[in-house]
Chain A
Amino acid sequence: MQQIPAPLWTLVIGIVVTLISLWYGQNNNLLPVQASEQAPLVDDFFNVMVTIGTALFIVVQGTIIYSLIRFRRRKGDDTDGLPIEGNLPLEAFWTAIPAIIVVGLGLYSVVVFQDMGGFAPGGHHHGGMMMAQAPQHEMVDVGSPMLAQAGEGGSRQVYGFGASPMVEGNRPDLTVNVTGMQYAWIFRYPDTAIVDGELHVPVGQDVQLLIEAQDVIHSFWVPQFRLKQDALPGQPAELRFVATKEGTYPVVCAELCGAYHGGMRTQVIVHSLEDYAAWEASRVAELPGAAETVAVNPATMTDAEYLTQIAQDIPIEATQIAQLARLSNP
């Protein structure tokens, strides 16, 4: 590589590329609103990767374009280029730089992962934690023997994100049991026996979702929380978060779960504390009597029948019920 540009040019290009990369790293606006404590951790990490990536992108693409222009064959020139077969220092350099970047990113991801609660799913709350529910709710709790088992045995692996280091060892402020089924999410509040098709949580509180699937694999994703966890039939999972911004955000199923997978959407409403208390009170007042619930044995029903049964409580669209009915009785 005899033709290294003059040091001054290298310096100028280096500064410009650095500035552009730093600017784009902070101003890419590629990610949606941040609404959980994890979101800024993920975004800062992403922005660092965007900064490094932008710099590498500009340098490599710039070199390609420069070479294509500067080293194009001129008319009438049928000779070959320079017989350069390698350059050990240069090769060592471009092996070392990515290696250093990669080690740095690896360490950084461990830190972010830990701060997100990635090392503590299911941790420190064995026995009782998984099924913190009121006694009368056992009847309503269809299709989650798995969570109950996990609670009793206390030794099953729980996947997902648990308590962040800040709240490790504390009980969550609110626990919600989340069940994915073709093609809806069911949210059960064990403390109050509320059942809903939308997730309601208070802002600023430590919320724990215990996630499972009834039929096939689904995946619980709130883009604004930057959190996702597969709902697995037969294996318990957890997501624990603190919502930081009031508002309504989509809950999306991210794992192909059948023909209407794309329609498996609902929302999470992050309330202020007062609004949440009001919502909870109004829902508890509406709850059907326990006797009524016991009379139904959901185990003997198809999904469609079960959904129709609870449709008045859950905002599942009528079309989805029709689809379900069609799918389960072809």
Chain B
Amino acid sequence: MAQADLSFNSPVAPHGHPDKWKWYHYFTFNVDHKVIGIQYLVTSFLFYLVGGFMAVMLRTELATPDSDFLSPELYNAFLTNHGTIMIFLWIVPAAIGGFGNYLIPLMIGARDMAFPKLNAIAFWLNPPAGALLLGSFYFGGAQAGWTSYPPLSEITANAAQTLWILAIVLVGTSSILGSVNFLVTIWKMRVPSMKWDQIPLFCWAMVATSILALFSTPVLAAGLILLLFDINFGTSFFKPDAGGNVVVYQHLFWFYSHPAVYLMILPIFGIMSEVIPVHARKPIFGYKAIAYSSLTICLVGLFVWVHHMFTSGTPPWMRIFFTISTLIVAVPTGIKIFSWVATLWGGKIRYTTAMLFAVGLLSMFVFGGLSGVTLGTAPFDIHVHDTYYVVGHFHYVLFGGSVFGIYSAVYHWFPKITGRMLNEPLGKIHFVLTFIGTILTFTPMHALGMQGMPRRVAMYDAQFTDLNQLVTVGAYILAVSVIPFYINVLWSWSKGQKAGDNPWNALTLEWTTASPPIIENWDVLPVVTHGPYEYGHEPEEELETVS
């Protein structure tokens, strides 16, 4: 890659920073991609607790059919902000902002991202967004769901809804800035010896993620700004009694928010392709198929959004067109699942916690993917749309998928980030509780939806009590499951066993530097002599790459 522009190679001024960051540097406008990655990760793990607290409140309310624990207004505020926080301040910043920023330069042999200052700006848009959401509770909290469909969103808790819109516009801007940075970095800043087919699959996944975010986020921003004008400045884009159209908002919203599902899962697919080969001690099965399937999902994913609107103001041809396009997504997704399973086959599987979460994800995703296919077909979706079946499905994909993936990534890269290992017995307790809790919480939801329970309700028909109580028990187990995890992280960060440079004997470039890496990643940039997943070829080979 001769044209890998040398002028990009040292964006961080070689002077002007200490040898090692002090703790307080992590609270400043720091341009080091690793500091920014850690800032994203720590912030998102804090918001995970906030969103989780709201989920526990919701499930406690739903332990009984009547609305008797929270006021229904507060219930709706919690359900709106649970969804918003888990998407925009937990999964997206943890997977994309956190691991994307921390790992991409290290994986491609770069000293930093292409635009370090832009990167820091992108991060610092997130804390104010979180503050706006929390502050909105002073005004009652936004209560119209994370989808915020007008007219409801225009007549309910106007001040809180306005703050909610501003928060989403901030994180959306952050996402656009981050995406540009990832694309330019992967395109231009690879170490010259790295060929296209030696780029780690996590980076390919981030290319697909970034393209998707660039295309779709501006559309969401447009929709939300029109909503903001309707609420605060007397326009009537979405006011039916003044000539507005409520369905137009839904198109603008879902044009972004279906791809948002892929923003939350494509980086996780990338993580899977990194973790599984290392702990199965086998090359990834079908490198090219996995890389291309990410790009296919990205492309097809831009043309499926109306499957969220099958019961809305949607003409027949549109219902059919989007049924077909949605079903097509199953093909590239299936390729990935089969490729990971084939990677396990014939390996020497290590039962590390990172691997347990990766395999757990695989197992959950099979179920979530299959229920997703049923939801993609208009005739069946008409029955289960806006019911607990949908809630069960997307939690299988986003919790059983994305959150399992983030956990797996933490157990896998924590030694690199901190220089210390996480405690494995605590990790296994964490995994078992999470696995059981997930199945118990999200499986009965499918039955509830099919039997007739709609979603987003603070009160429900008494015939659904038993299954709801089972779900609530599962949710409490999930709440407890995070305790060993947070203890493990806090304890291991200072007292864990020393990790060394490459505790897993992995072959990607981030493992060729110190743990934690030095400020500009390497003294001498590494030279790529083999692919990222060439396990089982020559057992001693990995030692040669350390420069």
Residues of A at the B interface (CB closer than 8 Å) are 1-3, 30-32, 41-42, 45-46, 49, 53, 56-57, 60-61, 63-64, 67-68, 71-74, 77, 79-87, 90-91, 94-95, 98-99, 101-102, 105-106, 109-110, 112-113, 116, 118-121, 157, 159, 161, 215-217, 219, 221, 223-224, 226-230, 232-235, 237, 250, 252-263, 265
Contact = CB atoms under 8 A, between A and B. Distances in A.
A90 B348 contact: no
B498 interface: no
A257 B152 contact: yes
A81 B311 contact: no
B316 A106 contact: no
A233 B67 CA distance: 27
A68 B349 contact: yes
Interface residues of B, number: 96
- Which 9 pairs from chain A and chain B are nearest by CB? A234-B240, A262-B457, A223-B452, A83-B536, A81-B347, A80-B536, A259-B72, A81-B282, A262-B459
Contacts, number: 291
A261 B363 CA distance: 35
B331 interface: yes
Contact of B454 (A91, A233, A253): A253
Given A80-B282, A80-B536, A234-B245, A113 B319 contact: yes
Nearest to A249: B452
Given A64-B344, A81-B282, A228-B383, A217 B241 contact: no
Contact of A72 (B323, B349, B362): B349
A307 B346 CA distance: 69
Contacts of A73: 281, 348-351
A67 B379 contact: no
A106 B319 contact: no
B452 A42 contact: no
Contacts of B533: 85
Contact of A232 (B246, B345, B370): B246
B377 A109 contact: yes
Contact of B373 (A49, A219, A237): A49
Contacts of B455: 254, 256
B344 A68 contact: yes
Interface string B317-351: 00110011001101100110111011011111111
B287 interface: yes
Interface in B274-314: 280-289, 311-314
A93 to B, nearest CB: 9
B341 A64 contact: yes
A109 B287 contact: no
A226 B310 CA distance: 13
A37 B313 CA distance: 23
B348 A71 contact: yes
Nearest to B151: A216
A30 B447 contact: yes
A94 B341 CA distance: 12
Contacts of B348: 71-74, 77, 79-81
Nearest to A119: B316
From B345, B350, B367, B370, residue with most partner A Cβ within 10 Å:
B345
Given A94-B335, A261-B456, A1 B323 contact: no
Contact of A82 (B327, B346, B456): B346
Given A64-B362, A216-B149, A258-B152, 12 more contacts: A63-B341, A73-B350, A79-B348, A86-B287, A91-B339, A113-B319, A217-B312, A232-B246, A234-B241, A235-B245, A262-B67, A265-B461
Contacts of B534: 83
A109 B451 contact: no
27 contacts: A1-B345, A31-B450, A32-B451, A46-B380, A57-B367, A64-B341, A64-B359, A77-B348, A79-B281, A81-B535, A83-B536, A84-B283, A85-B283, A86-B286, A86-B288, A87-B342, A90-B342, A106-B377, A113-B319, A116-B382, A221-B386, A223-B452, A224-B452, A234-B240, A235-B246, A256-B152, A261-B457
Given A32-B451, A56-B370, A235-B247, A63 B461 contact: no
Contacts of A257: 152
From A1, A49, A80, residue with most partner B Cβ within 10 Å:
A80
Judged by DSSP, the binding face of A is mixed
B458 interface: yes
Given A31-B450, A42-B379, A119-B316, A109 B323 contact: yes
B156 interface: yes
B374 interface: yes
A118 B319 contact: yes
B467 to A, nearest CB: 12
Nearest to B347: A81
Given A49-B377, A49-B380, A85-B285, A259 B458 contact: yes
B454 A221 contact: yes
Contacts of A46: 374, 380
Contacts of A87: 285-286, 342
From A94, A102, A256, A263, residue with most partner B Cβ within 10 Å:
A256
Contacts of B230: none
Contacts of A3: 345-346
A215 B349 CA distance: 58
Nearest to A257: B152
B544 to A, nearest CB: 16
Contacts of B287: 85-86
B314 A159 contact: yes
Given A68-B349, A95-B331, A233-B246, A256 B456 contact: yes
A254 B386 contact: yes
Interface string B74-107: 0110000000000000000000000000000000
Contacts of A161: 382
B4 to A, nearest CB: 26
A30 B380 CA distance: 13
Contacts of A265: 461
A81 to B, nearest CB: 4
B458 A262 contact: yes
Contact of B385 (A84, A109, A254): A254
Given A73-B348, A258-B156, A265-B461, A102 B342 contact: no
A303 to B, nearest CB: 12
A120 B317 CA distance: 11
Interface in B429-478: 446-447, 450-452, 454-461
